[in-house]
Structure 1
Amino acid sequence: MIVIRSAQPLEWREIAAIAAGASLELSPEAEARIAAARRLVDEIVTRGIRAYGVNTGVGALCDVVVSQAEQRDLSHNILMSHAVGVGAPLGREETRAIIAAAINNFAHGHSGVRLEVVRTLLALLNADTLPEVPAFGSVGYLSHMAHIALVCVGAGHVRAGGERITGDDALRRLGLEPMTLEAKEGLSLVNGTPCVTGLAALAMARAQRFLDWADVVSAMSFENLGGQLDALDPQSLAFRRSEGLALVGARLRAALSDSAILNESVGRRTQDPLSLRTIPHVHGAARDALKMTAEVVDRELASITDNPIVAGTPEAPRVFSQAHAVGASMALAMDGIAVTMAQVSALAERRLDRLVNPLVSGLPAFLAEIGGTRSGFMIAQYTAASLVAQNRRIAAPASLDGGVTSGLQEDHLCHATPAALKALEIIENSARILGIELLAATQAYDLQPTQLARAPYTDSLRAKVRGVLPIYRDDRPLANDMTFAFRMIADGVPPPLPGPSTRTDGTDDPQSTAAAPATVAAHRCAESANDALAMLPEAHGR
């Protein structure tokens, strides 16, 4: 797949597709805008117009004038001094998403970097020759972008085909030479909100995939526990005004259609526990939140987030040395998604607890075939409870962390990139929790006291798991099964539900480019699942 950055800015779905492996190209119009913005910077330099980071220092040094002869040094030195990231490097998809969002920002035509700089980033991206970017150490965006930009000047390191090489070697393998940065280019390469916006697009894609799985896995638990179908009644759900609620209700009805187990349980209880009857409400609220967040991310991708911004004409250039690089809206949005995913996965753990608890499930204790000598899923539920607690701890809003940097010049910090990173961590934890529920629900089907027919859709999900993993008899480390289920959810998409295809925002759009990240992920799923399966030698042939 090729994504083209044209007159229209990229949307989050396109960034997610590029993160998953699609290539990116610039239209001639986008290249012309980048070149025009560079001409504005050249005029600013020639005329000596005061511009932050062009002919002044940065941060608290913004009033220190830098001569024209020193401006190349300023650009180079900004990269060196801002490359202060620590910790393990970001993953492939995270790095690709950030680079794609940065190129999108430059293509607005208000940054002032030369076209050669953008083409170098494109070459690295499309060759999957990716800078090594430490995950931590930024209160906003500076260190991550600095480590990416290091490679443009032949410094830093990259990962290419599983090999770690220097930035200089990476460029030469691509037929490129290390660059000497011109005025403003060092600052343009490190500032703005591409870092958080790229990560947010990736979080959106993963959250969307997680919610699709959450609906169908919760349907399995609902069926195993004999849930009351009244909780999914469309007339009842319509009393609450929510597109997400209506969509989830429809999805659950489709997944549970023709279930003899549920038909048998009709009227058995006046109402189910909240962990069952609030599935449409909690999952629906999450989808509504995701839709609102998508609007925030797409607005950010359509915005110019440099400091300074260059505009006007070569005859009358203008410089805006203000605060458009501050990502307050993104910080708030990512904090919201973190809490949203934490709540959905906490509900999954509550369903899991009911599946393993014989006092409420009507199933063998802890889903073990033989009690006493076998513990079944007893301790797997501990793992889920631990991950729920971890999510709760890290869901605290990063946007409120505050702090003061740069000698009181930067005395308000919204921590947008850390907010996105913790949202990604919570989504991963949540997929692990849901994977445990998937395994437990599959096991519960095998231990049902009656032979009533499952819904065709949930039966297909059970068969998907059982096609790889046999019933669990405490005969192998359960952690390996959990890894397999996690990879199914994190890397793949659930089988399509009966009925019309819908996007997670509730609109019919089966042919949308929204499917692109999921399609790429689906192709990866088999490989990832096979990797997990390699840890399960006991499972083969059973």
Structure 2
Amino acid sequence: MAVIRSDRPLDWRQVAAVAAGEPLELSADARARIAAAHVLVEQIVERGIRAYGVNTGVGALCDVIVSPSEQRTLSRNILMSHAVGVGTPLGVAETRAIMAAALNNFAHGHSGIRLAVAEQLVALLDADCLPEVPAFGSVGYLSHMAHIALVCIGEGHARYRGERLSGREALQRLGLEPLVLDAKEGLSLVNGTPCVTGLAALALARAARLLDWTDAVAAMSFENLRGQLAAFDAESLALRISPGLNVVGERMRGALAESGILAAAVGRRTQDPLSMRTIPHVHGAARDVLSATAEVVNRELASITDNPIVAGTPEAPRVYSQAHAVGASIALAMDSLATAIAQVAAMAERRLDRLVNPLVSGLPAFLAEPGGTCSGFMIAQYTAASLVAQNRRLAMPASLDGGITSGLQEDHLCHATPAALKALEIVDNAGRIVAVELLAASQAYDLQTLDAARAPYTDSLWRGVRSLVPTYRDDRPLAEDMALAFRMIADTEPPPLPNPGKMRPAAAGVVGHTGYATAGEANPTAAHLPDAAGRDLQSAA
């Protein structure tokens, strides 16, 4: 089902859908806006109106005039000099997300590229012939988009059907010719915030799914540790004003309904440890951050982030050369989301530690077979603790890194793209931590001595795990089980909750500007998707 960029901007869910493999189409009106903006650039060139990056150099060279005969050379050279990425290339989803966000930005009609340039990017997406984009470089966005644009002119490298090809050969395989860039096109292709915005949309999708799984796995640990259900009392939780908190409370009540284990534990303790009784508070706070981040990303997708921006009419073209390409708001949002997910994962590790500690769990030490020859989940908890520490280091705010570039011309930097990249890394680390907790909670069920039934929901989770891996008896490398559990969390949704009520946290790709969806709401590739204002965003089969 194609995602269509029409007269409305894409929202983050649609970008995430394209990242996951859905094709992207430009509607007739989007194509018309792109073409009209190029006419404005042609008029700027013809009339000799000074415009940054059109007939001047870039960065600290902004006052150096570039003659009309040199403007194509300037566009090409911008790609060459800005393609300075280093490190392992981005994954397929990350690259597709950036390309989708770039096309969304061009479709606003203020970039000035020719329609042929946008069509070249659409063709690469449609064929899943993806430029090779090193993950690190520059201080924000320039290098990533430069590597993508290189393939459009027959340079750089691309991946196509498992092969690494030169940009020229990749275009030949698709029956396309390398582009010769016109004035401003080189700068338009590398400028703006599509890089961080695409990555941010992907981070939202992965974080939303992770939070659903974390609620589910936390319910398993809570049941195994025989917590007090009063922690999820609806009247009590309603006293704290937090949409996320109250939704998580409802989810926990649904997940643990009809638990014989918890029924037998009622009144055994006055209070559970914080890693158990604050599940709604911590998980709910992260959902509130997710909601706020979704708003920022949707606003960014609705914004024009070029420098310069072309506007006006062919008779009276205008150029705005300000700082819309600076991603301060989205950098701060990514730092916030990263910290929220790191905190949720840190608490998951604390529940895991309680499961493997016989002093508090009432279960065999480290959930291992008795006799001293088996270590069970002892060292798996080490791995989780190590990932928590790594997340703590990663959660330091990228948006405060600062720096000075381009001969003092660019003397304040927000590091938005690094903020998104580390948020994605934290989400992956968190998924691995929760995967270990999922395995440990399943093992704990196998070792329970209490003759009482699991809740139907947690029983379904346990059965799902056991369909993948048997009970662990130190009979195989535990890392293999952990990898399977991580893929289960990263690639699939947890089972739907029984009777979730009118509100539930939305699954990956469904969260809108509130962060929550009503029961039965459409999935991210459904025919109509609401944008941040609740209006339909058009998609089509």
Matches within 5 A, 1:48-67: 48-67=48-67
Contact 1:364 1:371 in 2 (8 A): no
Name the structure 1 match of 2:108: 108
| 1:355 alignment partner in structure 2 | 355
**Which residue pairs with 1:519 in the alignment?**
none
- Cα distance in 2 between the residues matched to 1:509 and 1:470: 34
Task: Summarize the alignment of residues 206-285 of structure 1 with structure 2, pairs less than 5 Å apart.
Answer: 206-285=206-285
In structure 1, what is the Cα distance between the partners aligned to 2:143 and 2:371?
Answer: 54
Asked if 1 retains the 8 angstrom alpha-carbon contact of 2:251 and 2:504, the reply is: no
AA in 1 matched with 2:465: V
Query: Which string of whole-angstrom CA distances, capped at 9 and with x for unpartnered residues, describes residues 454-498 of structure 1?
Result: 000000000001112111000000000000000000111101111
Question: Residue in 1 aligned with 2:17?
Answer: 17
1:354 alignment partner AA: R
Q: Are the aligned partners of 1:132 and 1:158 in contact in 2 as well (CA < 8 Å)? A: yes
User: Cα distance 1:67–1:186, how it changes in 2: closer, same or farther (>3 A)?
Assistant: same
Equivalent in the alignment of 1:39:
39
d(CA) in 1 for partners of 2:15, 2:82:
25
1:426-445 superposed matches below 5 A: 426-445=426-445
Aligned equivalent of 2:148: 148
Match of 2:319, SS state, is: strand
Separation of aligned partners in 1, 2:326 and 2:142? 11
Q: 1:507 aligns with which of 513, 517, 522?
A: 517
**Are 2:204 and 1:194 aligned?**
no
Q: Secondary structure at the match of 1:239?
A: coil
Instruction: Tell me the CA shift for residue 503 of structure 1.
Output: 3.8
Verify the 8 A CA contact 1:503 1:510 in the aligned structure 2.
no
Query: CA offsets, 1:235-285, max 9 Å, x none?
Result: 110110111011000011111000000000000000000000000000000
Shift of 1:514: 3.4
2:530 maps to none
Amino acid at match of 2:113: V
Q: Are positions 1:460 and 2:460 aligned together?
A: yes
Tell whether the 8 Å contact from 2:14 to 2:525 is kept in structure 1 after alignment: no
Tell me if the contact between 1:131 and 1:158 (Cα under 8 Å) persists in the aligned partners. yes
Matched to 2:356, the amino acid is V
C-alpha contact 2:53 2:62 (8 A) present in aligned 1: yes
The 3-state SS of whatever aligns with 2:165 is strand
Secondary structure at 2:448 match in 1: coil
2:78·2:187 contact (CA, 8 Å) conserved in 1?
A: yes
- CA contact under 8 A between 1:85 and 1:134: conserved in structure 2? yes
Aligned-pair Cα RMSD in Å: 1.0
Do 1:131 and 1:157's aligned partners in 2 also have CA atoms closer than 8 Å? yes
Amino acid at match of 2:375: S
Native 8 Å contact 2:110 2:309 kept in 1: yes
The corresponding residue for 1:480 is: 480
Q: CA deviation at 1:371?
A: 4.0
Give the TM-score taking structure 1 as reference length: 0.94
Residue 164 of structure 2: SS of its match in structure 1?
Answer: strand
Tell me if the contact between 2:400 and 2:414 (Cα under 8 Å) persists in the aligned partners.
yes
Q: Which residue of 1 aligns with 2:121?
A: 121
Amino acid at match of 1:502: R
Structure 1 range deviating more: 200-209 or 363-372: 363-372
Which residue does 1:400 correspond to in 2? 400
Tell me the amino acid that sits aligned with residue 416 of structure 2: A
CA distance in 2, matches of 1:227, 1:313: 67
How far apart are 1:507 and its partner, in Å? 3.2
Aligned to 2:8: 8
Instruction: Give the Cα separation in 2 of the matches to 1:514 and 1:130.
Output: 23
SS of residue paired to 2:369: coil
Verify the 8 A CA contact 1:391 1:426 in the aligned structure 2.
yes
Q: 1:15 to 1:509 in 2, by over 3 A?
A: farther
* Whole-angstrom distance in 2 between the partners of 1:499 and 1:345: 27
**Amino acid in the other structure paired with 1:306:** D
- Structure 2 CA distance for aligned equivalents of residues 25 and 281 of structure 1: 41
More deviation, 314-323/170-179: 170-179
State the match for 1:520 in structure 2. none
Q: CA deviation at 1:11?
A: 0.1
Looking at structure 2, the residues matched to 463 and 29 of structure 1 have their Cα atoms a distance apart, in angstroms, of 51
Count of residue pairs brought into register by the alignment:
517
CA contact (8 A) 1:222 1:276 kept: yes
Offset, 1:511: 3.0
| Alpha-carbon distance in structure 1 between the residues aligned to 2:196 and 2:381 | 33
Question: Runs of 4 or more off by more than 4 Å in structure 1?
Answer: none
Residue 417 (structure 1) shift: 0.2
Shift in Å at residue 510 of structure 1?
A: 2.5
Deviations 1:71-119 (A, max 9, x none): 0000000000000000000000000000000000000000000000000
For 2:240 and 2:505, the matched residues in 1 are separated by 20
Cα distance, 1:323–1:247 mapped onto 2, change above 3 Å: same
Q: Which residue of 2 aligns with 1:288?
A: 288
* Residue of structure 2 equivalent to 1:411: 411
* Structure-2 separation of matches of 1:345 and 1:135: 24
Partners of 1:515 and 1:191 lie apart in 2 by: 29
Tell me the equivalent position of 2:537: none
Tell me if structure 2 keeps the 8 A contact 1:105–1:305. yes
Deviation at 1:449, TM superposition (A): 1.1
Name the structure 2 match of 1:307: 307
CA distance in 2, matches of 1:205, 1:365: 37
Alpha-carbon distance in structure 1 between the residues aligned to 2:342 and 2:425: 10
Local SS of the residue matching 1:110: coil
Q: Deviations over 1:277-299 (max 9, x none)?
A: 00000000000110000000000
Kindly state the Cα deviation for residue 59 of structure 1 after the two structures are TM-superposed. Answer: 0.2
Q: Distance in 1 between matches of 2:504 and 2:247?
A: 9
| In 2: Cα distance, 1:476 partner to 1:515 partner | 40
Give the unaligned 5+ runs of structure 1: 517-542
Amino acid at match of 1:413: L
Task: Indicate the residue corresponding to 1:537 in structure 2.
Answer: none
For residues 272-329 of structure 1, what are the alpha-carbon distances to aligned partners after superposition, in whole Å with 9 as ceiling and x for unaligned?
Answer: 0000000000000000110000000000000000000000000000000110000000
Q: What is the alpha-carbon distance in structure 2 between the residues aligned to residue 249 and residue 330 of structure 1?
A: 29
What is the deviation of 1:515?
6.5
CA distance in structure 2 between the partners assigned to 1:158 and 1:325 by the alignment: 26
Q: Which one-letter code corresponds to 2:279 in the other structure?
A: I
Amino acid at match of 1:26: L
Match of 1:374 in 2: 374
Secondary structure of 2:517's aligned partner: coil
Distance across 2 between alignment mates of 1:475 and 1:194: 48
Q: Is the 8 A contact 2:398 2:414 kept in 1?
A: yes
3-state SS of paired residue (2:499): coil
The CA distance in 1 between the partners of 2:87 and 2:140, in whole Å, is: 16
Q: Distance in 2 between matches of 1:76 and 1:450?
A: 71
* Matched residue, 1:176: 176
CA contact (8 A) 1:141 1:191 kept: yes
Report SS of the residue matched to 1:304: coil
